[in-house]
Amino acid sequence: MQQHDDIVREKRRIRGEVRARRRALTPEQRRAAGEALTARLAELVESRGARSVSCYLPLPSEPDTMGFLSWAAGRGIEVLLPTSLEGFRLGWIRPDGTGTVAGAHGITEPRGELLPEGAIGEVDLMLIPASAVDTSGMRLGWGLGYFDRCLDSLERRPPVFAVVHDGDVLDRVPAEAHDSPVTGAVTPTRVLFFG
């Protein structure tokens, strides 16, 4: 149990550092990072020939995916976005283009059809939020388990890329049994593939 408590404490410490670092970014740094991120995400999607992906509507301090969402819309690439359901479970929405609503945790969610469970496993590529990732592919979220549960529940798991700032790629992120590695990560400067 000691070991488990240590891991939980270490995860909390890392999340705190990431939060502080993200909040210290100036508006100009955020804008520039968002613009660069759009190019990296577009590169990844094009290189994989993905026609459908998952993504997220960003909180103010998260890597800004809005430019990428516009790019994808212009290319006719289908983008599914998450909604926070009860029990820290994720649902997936196909946006209908009529706007957004306020979801849980202060996160904006699109209006649109809530897809049947498992449908997210059919996308070509998942782009998911994270607080940090390490070079072996272990991913740290915000401690609510939404994405761990979602990825665990999939019979077929598409390639999964964590979207983070450059400073959120760490040498090592502590892992528990329910954590499974991601395929890669995308930052404003690079697309990384993990063993």
Ligand X SMILES: Nc1nc2c(c(=O)[nH]1)N(C=O)[C@@H](CNc1ccc(C(=O)N[C@@H](CCC(=O)O)C(=O)O)cc1)CN2
Ligand Y SMILES: Nc1ncnc2c1ncn2[C@@H]1O[C@H](COP(=O)(O)OP(=O)(O)OP(=O)(O)O)[C@@H](O)[C@H]1O
Partners of 108 in beta bridges: 102
Residues annotated within a binding site: 11-15, 57, 62
Q: Which residues contact 162 (CB under 8 A, 6 or more apart)?
A: 128, 129, 130, 133, 139, 182, 184, 185, 186
Does residue 34 contact residue 64 with C-beta atoms inside 8 Å?
Answer: yes
d(CA 146, CA 38): 24
Contact between 56 and ligand X per CB under 6 A: yes
61 binds ligand X (CB under 6 A): yes
Nearer to ligand Y, 36 or 109 (CB): 109
C-beta separation of 95 from 81 below 8 A:
yes
């590529």: which residue's tokens?
125
Contact track, ligand Y, 146-175, x by CB under 6 A: xxxx--x-----------------------
Radius of gyration of the chain (CA): 16
Distance CA 68, CA 74 (A): 10
Q: Tell me the window of 21-29, 53-61, 110-118, 145-153 that interacts with ligand Y (CB under 6 A).
A: 145-153
Which range of residues in 42-50, 96-104, 144-152, 157-165 is near ligand Y by CB under 6 A?
A: 144-152
In the bound complex, what is the minimum distance in angstroms from residue 33's beta carbon to ligand Y? 21
Report the length, in residues, of the chain: 195
- Our CA dihedral for 159, 55, 106, 190, rounded to 10 degrees, sits at 80
Q: Is 62 in the site for ligand X (CB under 6 A)?
A: yes
Does 19 contact ligand X by CB under 6 A? yes
Residue 126 phi, psi dihedral angles, 5° rounding: -110, 125
- Stretch touching ligand X by CB under 6 A, among 59-67, 113-121, 151-159, 181-189: 59-67
Q: Which amino acid is at 35?
A: E
Among residues 127, 146, 160, 179, the one that binds ligand X under rule CB under 6 A:
146
Taking residues 64 to 83 in sequence order and writing x for each that binds ligand X by CB under 6 A, - otherwise, the string is ------------------x-
Residues that bind ligand X (CB under 6 A): 19, 22, 56-59, 61-62, 82, 84, 90, 105, 107, 129, 141-142, 144, 146-147
Residues that bind ligand Y (CB under 6 A): 11, 140-149, 152, 176, 178-179
